[in-house]
Structure 1
């Protein structure tokens, strides 16, 4: 079977997992939704947990691409603007990934720990490196740990991804960055 079958399997499985939860979906239901036999499904994924984790790894790969896109820009403001805009533009896919991640507790402790470690390395670590590099360039305060900045940034961006879609992703990204980078209080000397 071509790779498009794997993509269809993941797409249908995501729809089913979001609708019914991890335990509410069987491999038989996934096979039926995709229009393949159970043996064909098991040819691609050893079990439901392997399918579920493959979907989460796809979400993580998307987050990695966001960090790479941000890294290609010059300056923390433009880097974060790119990252937030792309995050908001891809919100439907990210929303599914976040909903799936909430079901992570159902996978084996070993697989869950491995995924969480990779998530921290790719997403939180990638953001931390952006902040660390910006501090080294003098664009951010040096007294704030990059990991803390990354967690604060995630705390204000996740509600934008999980909430209702915005009609103006670019404007929303700029407003969020104004608060994150400049604060919400008036600038001295501003009228």
Structure 2
């Protein structure tokens, strides 16, 4: 009879992924050792290998799992048939930006370390990214069908992802704005230009509202 997994296996595995993502994001994939991952998790190095065969397996899982979560979010929004195309696009922007905020390390690893993946694995990751872009582009075309004739739908979608994907390079934790503030700003800017951007409520104003 096959031996089952110990209780807490999945939780421990997820903790290892989170700690590895944080290390890869802060100091780079190449500069991080399995010893450091083990220390960050409070485990021995042999214990880490019980969950992942090597550092490369950690990188691949971090990238693939992050994209799988994004695909699930996109499917959820697209399944909300009562939404108009514009509402759907705004919903996609909001949920993606929110996910980026909750998975900052994994997102940074995906954007900065995918180059370390082997060709077949990198292609699989890139195919998932292209599928996400295609989903956004399809929603955009429902708003502006004429964009496809001009060959602009994909280009505009890539510009949108540029605004969302690289937010981590300048949006600082504890700053005046957070990802939740910026999600509607991105949507307003993309949908209506600078004149459509609404000023977010400041943190001090939020405090007054709560009080």
TM interval, shorter chain, is 0.7 to 0.9
Q: Which residue of 1 aligns with 2:20?
A: 13
Deviations 1:126-156 (A, max 9, x none): 2223234x1xxxx313233442332122123
Q: Normalized against structure 1, the TM-score is what?
A: 0.79
What is the CA RMSD across the aligned residues, in angstroms?
2.5
Q: Which residue of 1 aligns with 2:88?
A: 79
Aligned positions, number = 179
Do structure 1's residue 129 and structure 2's residue 138 form an aligned pair? Answer: yes
Structure 1 residues 24 and 160, CA gap change in structure 2 (3 angstroms): closer
Which segments of structure 1 move beyond 6 Å, counting only runs of 4 or more?
Answer: none
Q: Is the 8 A contact 1:87 1:94 kept in 2?
A: no
Structure 1 residues 19 and 43, CA gap change in structure 2 (3 angstroms): same
Q: Is the 8 A contact 1:17 1:100 kept in 2?
A: yes
Do structure 1's residue 92 and structure 2's residue 101 form an aligned pair? Answer: yes
Map 1:18-29; keep pairs closer than 5 Å.
18-29=25-36
Shift of 1:75: 1.4
Q: Which residue of 2 aligns with 1:173?
A: 183
Q: Is the 8 A contact 1:9 1:34 kept in 2?
A: yes
Q: Which residue of 2 aligns with 1:114?
A: 124
Q: Normalized against structure 2, the TM-score is what?
A: 0.72
Residues of 2 paired with 1:104 and 1:85: CA distance?
24
Q: Structure 2 regions of 5+ residues with no counterpart?
A: 1-5, 197-211
Residues of 2 paired with 1:178 and 1:20: CA distance?
34
Q: Which residue of 2 aligns with 1:141?
A: 145
Shift of 1:161: 4.8
Deviations 1:55-88 (A, max 9, x none): 1112102211231232134112211221222233
Q: Structure 1 regions of 5+ residues with no counterpart?
A: 187-191
Structure 1 residues 58 and 37, CA gap change in structure 2 (3 angstroms): same
Shift of 1:99: 1.7
Shift of 1:97: 2.6
Deviations 1:5-63 (A, max 9, x none): 11110011111112221111111221222123333322221211111110111210221
Residues of 2 paired with 1:161 and 1:185: CA distance?
24
Q: Secondary structure at the match of 1:176?
A: helix
